[in-house]
Each structure stands twice: as structure tokens, then as C-alpha cells.
Structure 1
Amino acid sequence: MSDTDLFKLYADRVLALAAAIPHTDPLPDPALRATKRAPLCGSTVAVALRLEGDRIAAFSQTVHACALGQASAAIFGAQVIGRTRLEVQTLCDALASMLKGGPVPAAPFGDYEVLTAARDYPNRHASILLAPEATLLALTAV
């Protein structure tokens, strides 16, 4: 497969994810909320959630971001229900590391592999981190 074919494959996957962000319906009566903004590009993600014990039981997100930030929100949103604060923190750390050249986050967040090409665009890293960081911010209020 040529580099051009590989780039197209990844671009198509990113756009498909960006078009299918889960958990975008407002969450009635959320217990926790937070909004995170990427200062360089102005992208924002607002999250609302409820917990059962220490696990996320309900989640919604409002995403105003570039395609990379939207794809990240889609990947995160598909796996966030049932996660703990520690799991979200671990993901944030692993995702930041991946963007600096480290390995792709472990399952169930392995789909972040599609965003490894963004390593070369540090001005987009903050947008990619928005959904998990906003969620972590909401969870720190507990």
C-alpha cells in the first residue's frame, strides 16, 4: 500500500468517526459537567455525566472541534460508559504519550491508532485530548 493510499484510508476513517459521534443527546439531570477548550484552535467539548458508584453510568458530549477532535470524541464516547476516573486518567496520559510518539492506548481505546498521524501536528493535540480531559475535569469534582 502506498503512502497516499494509507493517508486516504486514515482520512476516510477519521471522517467516518467524526460523522458518528455517540452520546450527543443532552443528558437529563447530570450530576457532573465540565467544558474544555483548546486555546490554539478554539475547539471545545462539553460533557455531562452521572455516576453509579465510581463508574460512569450516563454520558453526553457537545463537540465543536475539527475532524480530529470529533474523531477522538467518537472513539472516547464509544467506550466511556462504565469507566472509572482512574481509567479516564490512564487514557489521558496514554493518549498524550501517543501523540508524542508513544504507543497507542490499550484496549478498549485502541481505536486511537487512527490518530497516530496527528503526531506531526502538535497544534491539533489539544483538540484530540478534549473529550477525555473534559470528562476527567468533571470527575475531579467528585
Structure 2
Amino acid sequence: MSAETDLIKLYSQRILALAADIPHLGHLDAPDGSARKRAPLCGSTVTVDLIIADGRISDFAQDVKACALGQAAAAVVGANIIGCTRDQVQTARDQLAAMLKQGGPDPHAPFDGLQVLGPARDYKNRHASILLSLEATLDAFDAATATSASSA
């Protein structure tokens, strides 16, 4: 398979459609936690704001400045993140990393849509960008938890 054919497969119509329609873009006015993550190799960034209620994400916004693969991942995350616990987000991040880096199985629901990024396994330089939205969400969740703990 040629490099050009590989790139066409990588940037499938589904990935490009996801990248063009990212849910929850922007910022929240008064988030419980916020975090910005950057992929050093490519410079992609994702900033996440969230509100936590009863240990679950009740509101979410993200500012995504990433390649099409990072945008597609952010679209899947944005479409499924409301109602998730920190453990669910951590599991999704770990499953996505294993799928990309170790050939592991696709992430489980509600983040099973991330399987569309399977062709990126062979593009290690894109893995950090693909993981940004979940990693920023984890950091924002931790920031929210730290803020609520210090005010209690």
C-alpha cells in the first residue's frame, strides 16, 4: 500500500465529517474546572471547561485547535461526555491509548465511536493530538475536584 493510499485511508470521510461537526465548542462562563493540553510535536491544543454535579460531568465545552484527527476525537468525546464520571473518562483515555499504541481493542461505549481513529495506529506522531480532548477533560475534572475540596 502506498503512502498516499495510507493517508487517504487515514483521513476517511467519516473522520473529516466528525472534524467538521464538533459538539460543545467554546467555553463555559463559570466552569468548575478548566484545563488546556498541548501536543508538543504538532502544536495541537484542546482547552476543556466543565461543570461537575454529583460526580458526573453536567456541562462541557471545548476549544479545539488540532488536526483533523484530534478534531474527530474531540467530536466523539463532545458527543458522549455529558453524564460521565472521571473513571469513565479515564477508562476511555486508557482504551484509546491502548488501541493506538498497542493494537488493543476499540474503546467501549459510550466512546466506541473512537474506533474510527484505528487507522492512526501507524502514525505515532498523531497519537498525542488524538488523546488531547480526553486528557484535557481529565485535567479539568481534577481541577474541579481540587477546587471543591479546597472550598469545603
TM normalised by structure 1 equals 0.92
CA deviations 1:118-140 (Å, max 9, x no partner) are 00000000000000000001112
Unpaired stretches in structure 1, ≥5 consecutive residues:
none
**SS of 1:26 mapped into structure 2:** coil
Q: What is aligned with 1:73? A: 74
CA deviations 1:62-98 (Å, max 9, x no partner) are 0000000000000011000000011111111000000
Deviation at 1:26?
Answer: 2.4
**Alignment of 1:89 onto 2:90:** yes
Q: What is aligned with 2:105? A: 103
For the residues of structure 2 that align with 1:51 and 1:19, how far apart are their CA atoms? 27
Q: What is aligned with 1:129? A: 131
Deviation at 1:31?
Answer: 1.1
Q: Which runs of 4+ in 1 moved over 6 A?
A: none
Q: What is aligned with 2:148? A: none
Q: In 1, are the aligned partners of 2:100 and 2:121 still within 8 Å (CA)?
A: yes
Deviation at 1:8?
Answer: 5.3
**Alignment of 1:18 onto 2:19:** yes
For the residues of structure 1 that align with 2:137 and 2:81, how far apart are their CA atoms? 9
Deviation at 1:29?
Answer: 0.8
The structure with more radius of gyration: 2
Q: Quick one: percent identity of the two aligned structures?
A: 61
Alignment RMSD:
1.4
Q: In 2, are the aligned partners of 1:56 and 1:82 still within 8 Å (CA)?
A: yes
For the residues of structure 1 that align with 2:93 and 2:66, how far apart are their CA atoms? 18
TM normalised by structure 2 equals 0.86
**SS of 1:138 mapped into structure 2:** helix
